[in-house]
Amino acid sequence: MSHSIQIAGSELRFDCAAGQTVLDAALQAGIELPYSCRKGVCGSCAGGVAAGQVTPVSGVTAHPEHCPPGQQLYCACTPAGDLVIAPATYRKLDPGARKTLQAKVYRHALAAPDVSLLQLRFAAGQRVRFAAGQYLQVLLEDGSRRSFSMANAPHESDGVTLHIRHVPGGRFTAKLPAMAAGDLVRVELPYGSFVLDGSSVQPLVFVAGGTGFAPVKSMLDDLMRRGVQRPVRLFWGARRREGLYLLEAVERWRKFFRDFAFVPALADEVVEGMHRGPVHEALAAHAGPLAGQALYCCGSPPMVDAVRATALSQGLAPADFHADVFVS
């Protein structure tokens, strides 16, 4: 049995199968709603239900603490009947935009003891369109998938660069030590709506934890490539100095953006000129009032939750908080 879902204020309708989440049904129908983790953690897919009722999927709450009052997480609920939903934004997907293809390892290097920089190249003549901040999925032999953000800017469309933290016992990261130039990797892309609003001129605040730096790098490289000047503040947190593995990119942005500030934060090490403590504490200590600004945050679920709470306490509007959560 399926139910019909309509987007309020539009003629768009799509079907949702029994047990299917609202978000999955929309994506299957070629309609992209805001989302990131798809596991009920990040809150990116929160939206209204204008008519009808939803049921939380097993094991997930459809309205966690950081979900605005009266809203639901579309990735964590399924219709109890026909629905009318009121998402923050939506758009029709280009059917040809997402591709599954073989990529070849071009270069593999360690940027830190537990971080690989993996450059993949597509076959000659192949190009893939993606927006800065989006991610891909690596398709493994057993049918499982692993998600990684593209760290390169979209104009570099003949391949992708991934920043991969080594996870003990990780099925894909276990392969990394032996991965060399010429090896093949099957990928599908693009995914995600963690992208900049191109019509906005708000000052930008980026907060990254570890390899959450990857989509931020893509966004800032894209702004630089297009010659876009906006005030930028970057907060990048790691446990130790070696976790800030690409400071040369920060120096390029410092030279390009006329209004740029960088605050590195180390949780477990004292280094002169760097904030001592987690990155959300660095935000609290150095950001000041955040009203009228747009904040883009990427990292682990606890880190994103801490940054969200800090930012809102400093005046950031809930609608101006954008998150991409790395969920294992």
C-alpha 212, offset from chain centre: 8
Question: Looking at residue 59, what is its pLDDT?
Answer: 66
What are the backbone dihedrals phi and psi of residue 201, each rounded to the nearest 5 degrees, phi first? Answer: -120, 15
- How far apart are alpha carbons 244 and 268 in whole angstroms? 13
- How far apart are alpha carbons 245 and 237 in whole angstroms? 11
Q: Where in the chain is the domain with CATH 2.40.30.10?
A: 99-191
Q: Where in the chain is the domain with CATH 3.40.50.80?
A: 204-325
Question: Looking at residue 44, what is its pLDDT?
Answer: 84
Pick the CATH number of 204-325 from 3.40.50.80, 3.40.50.2000, 3.90.1010.10, 3.40.50.300: 3.40.50.80
> Which residues make Cβ contacts (< 8 Å) with residue 298, sequence separation at least 6?
149, 194, 207, 208, 209, 212, 213, 214, 215, 216, 304, 323, 324, 325, 326
296 sits in which H/E element: strand 294-299
Question: Looking at residue 93, what is its pLDDT?
Answer: 81
> Which residues make Cβ contacts (< 8 Å) with residue 220, sequence separation at least 6?
206, 232, 234, 249, 253
- How far apart are alpha carbons 221 and 76 in whole angstroms? 33
Question: Looking at residue 280, what is its pLDDT?
Answer: 98
Six token digits for residue 92? 């029709």
Question: Looking at residue 64, what is its pLDDT?
Answer: 61
- How far apart are alpha carbons 112 and 95 in whole angstroms? 38
Question: Looking at residue 328, what is its pLDDT?
Answer: 64
Three-state secondary-structure class, residue 223: helix
Pick the CATH number of 99-191 from 3.40.1110.10, 2.40.30.10, 2.40.160.10, 3.40.50.800: 2.40.30.10
- How far apart are alpha carbons 161 and 107 in whole angstroms? 9
Q: Is 129 left (phi over 0), alpha (psi -120 to 50) or beta?
A: beta
Per-residue tens of pLDDT for the chain, all 328 residues: 899 999 999 999 999 999 999 999 999 999 989 888 888 878 889 999 999 999 998 766 655 666 778 899 999 999 999 999 999 889 888 767 789 999 999 999 999 999 999 999 999 989 999 999 999 999 999 989 999 999 999 999 999 999 999 998 888 988 898 999 999 999 999 998 899 998 999 999 999 999 999 999 999 999 999 999 999 999 999 999 999 999 999 999 999 999 999 999 999 999 999 999 999 999 999 999 999 999 999 999 999 999 999 999 999 999 899 999 987 6
Comparing CA positions, the residue from 94, 98, 97 lying closest to residue 31 is 94
Question: Looking at residue 325, what is its pLDDT?
Answer: 92
- CATH code of the domain occupying 2-92: 3.10.20.30
Question: Looking at residue 69, what is its pLDDT?
Answer: 82
Residue pointed to by tokens 């970057």: 234
